[in-house]
Structure 1
């Protein structure tokens, strides 16, 4: 059962068998990187890949048998139901769930089969975090603003690895230079979750994405800050520039656009009550996203900021802890997603007591309970995310953010939020989604992102607070990344 020895091939990337490796590599690369909008490999690489006649064609290789993994005697939380299934069998072939049965499943004749006896434990979909910043989650803000960007990327590689082993197989990343990390994970050079990237968050001068020093004002014409050069943020102060910055992120591979519509806690200049961007500026960003077949989401807390964003056509509100009932009713009427985070005053603040940032944070904390109650009352389409920033200890407690939701939801409702419901939000990216297939569910034909849990999370959601013990198997895309002997 260990992820090593004769099972080692299951935790490593496996190339596709082929007749002509160079031809298939080029075809796959062109299809994937152009139609799924990864980074363009460049004309020189294309020309090199096309030069198939310059070297001898290798002998035709025999196609290897696909791997298959059979989970036996597991009880399934399928992402939709309120209860676990009876004892079941789940066959994974390649990266898909092929068969689910209450009866034993025969080994496929054309595959190499690995059996995992669940011994009555629980199989669930991989968890989905709808609001992350992987590049910034574990490094203090002061270090991010002053360090070589290479160090930030190294820290992010570890953060992504640890996030996957906590059971988070997919995330919506809403701000940061994450394109390279995503490409590395998708290419098998690093370990981490699937990433729906927004790229740089787009902000006005003095907005939530403006982290310049006071002595950087007034901005010099044509100058770019370190954060902009590194791809963390993009400052825009007119509709044309907002449109251009949004198009840049889309060109780089953004699956959705992130606009800063109101004040924030961690940013140095903006009180929570301010409304950012004009309606015309925000519409420019929304239209750029819509023209690419995707959507814009906004950072906003207050009714005024959210109402302007709704008027501009955004499809999702992130945060919103200070919303009033009339604005929440508007979100429900317009069927706009509300991505909420269970921000609570339950630990030490990252800001000095009494500082402007601390006062903003406390105000936001006080609105969290009311926000969740209003979301439930008006049946707003609600997603769940963590928005963990600048703190390795908080990042390690990612699963604890699930148990905080027990104040408002049952365990079954919470697991639905973190699996099938969040998967619906990811699907809002449409053709700009970087991955094809169904997520957040345990159903035949769905992508094989699965967790084997030592216990029943519907009876004890706190199992996710200790993933190092409770998560026995972590599978993403049909590959095992964690496997504790049963």
Structure 2
């Protein structure tokens, strides 16, 4: 792997560009990268001292993005997080960040985990990894999707400040009632969150909450939205079931995470009318394994709803973001690329539609963090003059065959993030 200093210009010549409009490829052209941004398109003469990459007619596209990752948990097992040394958890997250970048993901939205410091380290260029939009700890009610206490333990609100391991490591925060929710949201913002995640319904991996359970009262959800809005950002909600989705929308939540158990197309029409995003995942049952039969059954129920939720959301014109939600099984983190290709192979999106979702589409969602956006100085997810220089040079044509992105080791010839070359197979 090579890494190019930010100050060195890069000219990539003879490439077909997947542009900001997301409608197809340009005729062969060149792209100049300078000072971390796209400086010119069509420029043929390299500046003095520039690195010149001959594209050979390959496709140049924006870096991929993932709207639902858990860097802190993707590189660690459940046992490692709960019983291992805390420092080891952070080192594993750092290692997974590099692997994620080398899979072509140059920007991610982290939806639970203590990664604000990791973002700062990666942004400094000290280590390779994607840009990160941190949520910090996800916020959960007692007995909600983020409550990892034992059943015999007192609820946090009764335990004089004693917290579970998940809270101690900044993965979750249990908060009940308006005042605690306000404090929990403000705590994550203080720690560097660019948006807030709250648990508004039952989950698969958790113990106490069946999928039909609705979590947080309307007032508690509204409190979270009010606190985030005061900081110029938004709240996303983990929720599968229909009632929870509707309650979250009514409270002003801007992004529904998952949504696979919505009752029908009317819910997605409501989302479209309110401008609420569906940040969802093309799950298959094999993506996650659970030793407990109850969790396995919940996983089956969620996966059975994937195809319908995609179909209804598309028909309704709802905004769709792509994410993966891989965690606690490090050996499966590499499924990230395969899950992207499923949009085309399993769920009826054209390759061009899928590329648009995973580049400029996700970037539009990320920009909802407004003043808390750590990368607001330029645009992500597109190759236009002035945009951040996060690009991939691809072997094969992903606008015709998305599966070429399923093998990043072979088919990503060049990876550039923030104007630096992290991989160059072309010499």
Using the size of structure 2 for normalisation, the TM-score is: 0.96
Distance 2:328 2:20 in 1: 31
Distance 1:266 1:235 in 2: 16
2:379 — aligned with what?
A: 438
Cα deviation for residue 190 of structure 1 reads 2.1
**Is 1:391 aligned to residue 332 of structure 2?**
no
| Alignment map for 1:347-426 (pairs within 5 Å) | 347=286, 349-352=288-291, 355-406=293-344, 407-426=347-366
**Is 1:225 aligned to residue 164 of structure 2?**
yes
1:112 — aligned with what?
A: 49
Which blocks of at least 5 consecutive residues in structure 2 are unaligned?
A: none
Deviations 1:192-235, CA, capped at 9 Å, x for gaps: 10000000000001100111122323542221222212111111
Aligned length: 421
2:404 — aligned with what?
A: 463
Task: State which of 138, 162, 172 in structure 1 corresponds to 2:109.
Answer: 172
**Is 1:335 aligned to residue 305 of structure 2?**
no
Deviations 1:382-412, CA, capped at 9 Å, x for gaps: 1111111112232112111111111220000
Aligned pair in 2 of structure 1 residues 348, 477: CA closer, same or farther (>3 Å)? Answer: closer
Distance 2:388 2:381 in 1: 9
Q: Which moved more, 1:147-156 or 1:137-146?
A: 137-146
1:271 — aligned with what?
A: 210
Q: Which moved more, 1:141-150 or 1:300-309?
A: 141-150
Distance 1:384 1:72 in 2: 30
Q: Secondary structure at the match of 2:270?
A: helix
Contact 1:79-1:415 at 8 Å conserved across structures? no
| Alignment map for 1:245-324 (pairs within 5 Å) | 245-324=184-263
Cα deviation for residue 336 of structure 1 reads 0.7
Cα deviation for residue 79 of structure 1 reads 4.1
Contact 1:130-1:173 at 8 Å conserved across structures? yes
Contact 1:201-1:234 at 8 Å conserved across structures? yes
Cα deviation for residue 187 of structure 1 reads 2.2
Distance 1:204 1:160 in 2: 30
Structure with bigger gyration radius: 1
Distance 1:373 1:319 in 2: 14
Deviations 1:82-111, CA, capped at 9 Å, x for gaps: 22111111011111111111xx62223xx4
Cα deviation for residue 179 of structure 1 reads 1.4
Cα deviation for residue 348 of structure 1 reads 6.6
Distance 2:147 2:141 in 1: 7
Q: Secondary structure at the match of 1:321?
A: strand
Deviations 1:100-159, CA, capped at 9 Å, x for gaps: 11xx62223xx4211000111110000010111110013222321111211111110110
Contact 2:396-2:411 at 8 Å conserved across structures? yes
Q: Secondary structure at the match of 2:72?
A: helix
| Alignment map for 1:157-196 (pairs within 5 Å) | 157-196=94-133
Q: Secondary structure at the match of 2:261?
A: coil
Q: Secondary structure at the match of 1:130?
A: strand
Distance 2:400 2:274 in 1: 35
Q: Which moved more, 1:325-334 or 1:168-177?
A: 325-334
**4+ long deviations beyond 3 Å:** none
Distance 1:139 1:231 in 2: 14
Deviations 1:388-444, CA, capped at 9 Å, x for gaps: 111223211211111111122000000000000101001111111011211111111
2:369 — aligned with what?
A: 429
Contact 2:142-2:155 at 8 Å conserved across structures? no
Q: Secondary structure at the match of 1:215?
A: coil
1:204 — aligned with what?
A: 141
Which blocks of at least 5 consecutive residues in structure 1 are unaligned?
A: 15-65
Distance 2:204 2:76 in 1: 17
Contact 1:79-1:124 at 8 Å conserved across structures? no
Aligned-residue CA RMSD in angstroms? Answer: 1.4
Cα deviation for residue 252 of structure 1 reads 1.3
